[in-house]
């Protein structure tokens, strides 16, 4: 049976997990106190999580592929129940009520909800009668995505919520109109522009661009799309007038601080020195650590900023900074290449699947990994605001590693099946 397993993905998985563990080991390394048998240390705990992941892999590969498709609704219901329950019984860490505390171990249900959502999402779209070009089918599909988003944002955990945007790639690949994606990007662009330049400037600029768009369509097709132009302006005006309400009434203070720093909102940044020592501290230290690595890095266990604990949360969301400081540009390029190959390989395997369910689930897996990697790296190097999103197979934590392992190996198990659907 294992001869049909995609060993390229398996090799990439263990390569990333291995390099990730070395980085975690480096973040807590002290020649006088570091012992691999000490379970109070992150590296030792991560070894335990890796070991248990091997058990999960064997268990996943032993199950018949049809089980995952037939149990999609059950998985989804349990995942949503856990997400709702954590709001009541969960443990608050770093301002988010997102973990169940089970003895010395904490579990984050949001990490497992991605797999459950992807399975039900793929099953729904694989039905012959489902056509996402019809509003009813598209609405039901979006509800599958939006329900976990709503439960996660209540924790609040904007980073995990952002990941669900990855399902747009699968929807587009399965025939959803690109106009929907355009509207989402339009909404985001107007929202950010309003925060940066104000309501008046944003609306005026957008009306001008809409007129240019109408003129271009007239020159190309011979008519002016009045209805589309009016709809675009209405969306722009509504979004622009609601932007400040969302920013000040919905966003928490630390979210506003991060966006203010990212967008350089001068009216929000009243004390730049204080901001550098609080909100901007993580990003500034992360950039310093990565840039100090140069081309080849300082060497394994030789990172001075890593040893000095200058970068907060370096073993979790900011683990890439350890790689940059100790492995340098060559090391970060290698890991980037490994992630890129993994995502492309999964996408390729999805494309050649005869089963529509297998194919769509594969698109979801590749998209989720890509969004996690892209957003995490962009956050660490400062081109996106800090949102708290782990780097797959690298960041410390059992929930993250188990969740990503399940996500990947369920697809590899499906891809092993030669049965035609």
Nearest to 113 by CA among 158, 161, 155: 161
301-339 as b/e, with b when 16 or more CB fall inside 10 Å?
eebebbbeebbebbbbbbbbbbbbbbbbeebbeebeebb
Summarize pLDDT for 267-309 with one digit per residue, the tens.
555 555 555 555 567 777 888 888 888 999 999 888 887 777 7
For residues 261-272, average pLDDT: 60
Query: What is the model's pLDDT at position 421?
Result: 46
93: confidence class by pLDDT, cuts 50, 70, 90: confident
For residues 395-399, average pLDDT: 91
Phi first, then psi, for residue 379 (nearest 5°) are -65, -45
Q: Which long-range contacts (C-beta less than 8 Å, at least 24 apart) are formed by 348-354? A: 349/6, 349/9, 349/411, 349/415, 350/411, 353/414, 353/415, 354/420, 354/421
223: confidence class by pLDDT, cuts 50, 70, 90: confident
For residues 229-241, average pLDDT: 85
Q: How many CB atoms lie within 10 A of CB 418?
A: 7
d(CA 176, CA 185): 15
d(CA 123, CA 174): 13
Query: What is the model's pLDDT at position 344?
Result: 96
For residues 109-122, average pLDDT: 95
Query: What is the model's pLDDT at position 23?
Result: 93
Question: For the ranges 41-50, 218-227, 269-278, which has the lowest average pLDDT?
Answer: 269-278
Contact indicator for 159, 365 with CB cutoff of 8 Å: no
Give yes or no for residue 41 having a pLDDT over 50: yes
420: confidence class by pLDDT, cuts 50, 70, 90: very low
Query: What is the model's pLDDT at position 154?
Result: 87
What is the model's pTM?
Answer: 0.85
Q: How far is CA 370 from the centre of its chain?
A: 7
On average, the pLDDT of the chain sits at 86
Summarize pLDDT for 122-173 with one digit per residue, the tens.
999 998 787 777 878 888 888 999 999 999 988 888 888 889 989 988 888 8
Summarize pLDDT for 345-383 with one digit per residue, the tens.
999 999 999 999 999 999 999 999 999 999 999 888 877
């Amino acid at each position: 049976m294992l001869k049909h397993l995609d060993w390229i993905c398996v090799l990439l998985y263990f390569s990333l997990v291995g390099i990730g563990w070395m980085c975690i080991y480096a973040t807590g390394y002290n020649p006088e106190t570091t012992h691999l048998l000490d379970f109070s240390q992150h590296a030792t705990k991560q070894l335990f999580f890796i070991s248990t992941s091997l058990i999960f892999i064997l268990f996943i590969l032993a199950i018949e592929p049809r089980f995952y498709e037939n149990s999609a609704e059950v998985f989804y219901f349990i995942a949503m129940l856990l997400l709702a329950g954590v709001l009541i019984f969960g443990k608050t860490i770093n301002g988010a009520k997102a973990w169940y505390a089970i003895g010395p171990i904490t579990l984050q249900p949001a990490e497992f909800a991605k797999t459950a959502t992807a399975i039900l999402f793929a099953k729904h779209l694989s039905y012959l009668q489902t056509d996402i070009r019809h509003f009813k089918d598209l609405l039901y599909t979006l509800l599958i995505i939006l329900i976990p988003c709503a439960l996660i944002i209540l924790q609040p955990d904007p980073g995990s919520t952002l990941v669900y945007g990855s399902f747009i790639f699968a929807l587009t690949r399965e025939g959803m109109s690109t106009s929907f994606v355009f509207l989402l990007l339009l909404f985001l662009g107007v929202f950010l522009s309003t925060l940066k330049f104000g309501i008046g400037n944003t609306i005026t600029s957008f009306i001008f661009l809409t007129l240019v768009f109408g003129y271009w369509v007239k020159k190309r097709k011979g008519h002016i799309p009045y209805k589309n132009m009016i709809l675009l302006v209405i969306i722009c005006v509504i979004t622009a007038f609601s932007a400040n309400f969302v920013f000040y009434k919905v966003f928490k203070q630390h979210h506003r601080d991060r966006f203010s720093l990212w967008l350089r909102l001068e009216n929000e940044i009243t004390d730049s020195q204080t901001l550098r020592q609080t909100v901007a501290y993580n990003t500034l230290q992360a950039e310093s650590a990565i840039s100090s690595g140069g081309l080849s890095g300082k060497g394994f266990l030789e990172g001075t900023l890593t040893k000095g604990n200058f970068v907060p949360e370096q073993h979790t969301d900011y683990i890439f900074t350890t790689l940059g400081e100790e492995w340098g540009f060559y090391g970060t390029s290698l890991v980037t290449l490994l992630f890129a190959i993994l995502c492309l390989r999964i996408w390729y395997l999805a494309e050649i699947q005869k089963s529509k369910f297998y194919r769509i689930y594969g698109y979801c897996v590749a998209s989720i990994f890509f969004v996690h990697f892209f957003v995490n790296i962009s956050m660490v190097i400062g081109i996106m605001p800090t949102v708290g999103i782990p780097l797959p197979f690298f960041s410390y934590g059992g929930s993250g590693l188990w969740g990503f392992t399940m996500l990947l190996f369920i697809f590899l198990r499906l891809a092993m099946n030669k049965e035609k659907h």
